[in-house]
Every structure is written in structure tokens, then in C-alpha cells.
Amino acid sequence: MSFRISDLIDLDKIPMKIIIFLGIVSGIFVFASDSFLELLKMTEFQEDYGKFFGPVFIASLAFIVISLIYFFKELLESKLNKSKGSRFIFRELESLDPSEQSVIREFGIQQKKSIKMPVDNSTVAGLISKGILKRVSPIGDGLYFPLTLTSIADKQMKEVHIGISKGMSKEEVAELFKKRPKWAVDPFYKRHYA
């Protein structure tokens, strides 16, 4: 069994405010002139504990620099992951099958931002796993939960993604909108969940 310093102190749990405070205080003692310390009545304190201020200042400064590096690294990784997620969702929108398109058209048909859908339905579950749909609330009616388009999918969604092309007539669009998922037109669903 090996012993590590991190077993005693978890540096991630030390508040950054304390590290900054220690850095500022130790920095004042390291860089302040003797006259300034006399003015503050801190010369005796400096004489007794002065040998600790340099190491505390260096350690605080190093901790702050490392924390900033990790912060910017995580920020960059988050932006890259978001960009990858956007590209993935865009590719998924481009390859929606007719049943997936019919689920997404429900938002236009019902004129709602969120719709209760059966999460056990394979098409609905597939759209959730692709990052196109998401739950609005963890509370549902049985297996029906309120779902909405994710913000990325909503921003990238175009008419072509739901099966509508520019050359279609109004009658063709109306016919397309009649092709709805079974759960959306089922009388039981309408009575209990709409």
C-alpha cells in the first residue's frame, strides 16, 4: 500500500479564494518595503515568520497558474465537444427516416414547444439518443414524458429535415402532415395525454 500526499489533502477542494488570499498576503510581505511594513506595524511579524512568505507566495502563484491552465483547457474541450455534438446532430438531421420526420413534424402540427411522447417508442427513443429530442421534465404520465427539440437541433432544423421540399404543393404538404405517428392520433393518447 503506497502513501500519497493527495490522500491527506485534496487540492481540488481547496477554495480558490483562500489560495488567492494567501498569494496576495504573502506577496505583500515578500515585495513590500520595510517602511510600508513599519507603517502597518508588521515588522516583528515579518521577522518571526518572513521565511515562510516566499514559499507560500510561490506555491499560491503556481496553484493559481495551474488552475487557470486547467480552466482554459476544460473550456476549450467543452467548445470542441459542443462543436462535435453540433456536427453529429446535423448529420443525424440529414439522415432522418420518414417515421423520425413524422415525430418531429408533431411540433408543427400541434403548435407546441413540448409534446408528451412515449419514451418507450423506438423512434422517439432513437431521436433522444441522437440528441435531437430531450426531456423537459422527469415527471411524466406513465411512459409519456414532455419532450422538446434540443437547442442545437432546433437551430439547425430546416423544412427538408421533416420531409418538405421546395417543389411540393400545398396539397402534398397537407398529405404529408396526415402521416402522423400512431401514438399521436390514438384516441386513448388524445384523451389522456394531449
Q: What is the pLDDT of residue 3?
A: 52
Question: Domain range holding 163?
Answer: 96-193
Average pLDDT of the residues in 109-131: 91
189 and 104 share a domain? yes
Tell me: pLDDT of 2 over 70.
Answer: no
pLDDT for the residue numbered 28: 86
Q: Is the pLDDT of residue 180 over 80?
A: yes
Global pTM exceeds 0.75: no
**Is 47 domain-assigned?**
yes
Q: Tell me whether residue 91 is in a domain.
A: no
Last residue of a domain, one of 35, 65, 85: 85
pLDDT in tens, 50-107: 888 889 999 999 988 888 898 899 889 888 877 887 888 888 888 899 999 999 999 9
The predicted pLDDT at position 124 comes to 94
Same domain, 187 and 100: yes
- Residue 191 pLDDT exceeds 70: no
Which residue from 163, 180, 19, 3 is spatially nearest to 93, judged by alpha carbons?
A: 163
Residues 136 and 100 in one domain: yes
pLDDT in tens, 25-53: 888 888 888 888 888 888 888 888 888 88
Residues 79 and 113 in one domain: no
From the list 48, 83, 62, the residue with the least C-alpha distance to 20 is 62
Cα–Cα distance, 138 to 66 (Å, whole number): 38
Same domain for 180 and 114: yes
Nearest-angstrom CA–CA distance, 166 and 152: 23
177 burial type by CB count under 10 A (0-12 exposed, 13-18 middle, 19+ buried): middle
**One-letter amino acid for residue 77 of the chain:** E
Taking CB atoms within 8 Å and a gap of at least 24, the contacts of 177-181 are 177/105, 177/108, 177/109, 179/98, 179/102, 180/102, 180/105, 180/106, 180/109, 181/99, 181/102, 181/103, 181/106, 181/121, 181/123
Q: How many CA atoms lie within 13 A of 38 on its CB side?
A: 3
Coil, strand or helix at 118: strand
Last residue of a domain, one of 23, 58, 85: 85
Q: Indicate if 71 and 100 belong to the same structural domain.
A: no
Quick one: 104 and 72 in the same domain?
no
- Measure the CA dihedral 132/138/141/146, to 10°: -30
Query: Does residue 58 sit in the same domain as residue 143?
Result: no
- Cβ atoms 53, 29 nearer than 8 A: yes
Dihedrals phi, psi of 114, to nearest 5 degrees: -135, 145
Last residue of a domain, one of 66, 85, 104: 85
116 and 143 in a single domain? The answer is yes
Considering its fold, how many domains does the chain have in total? 2
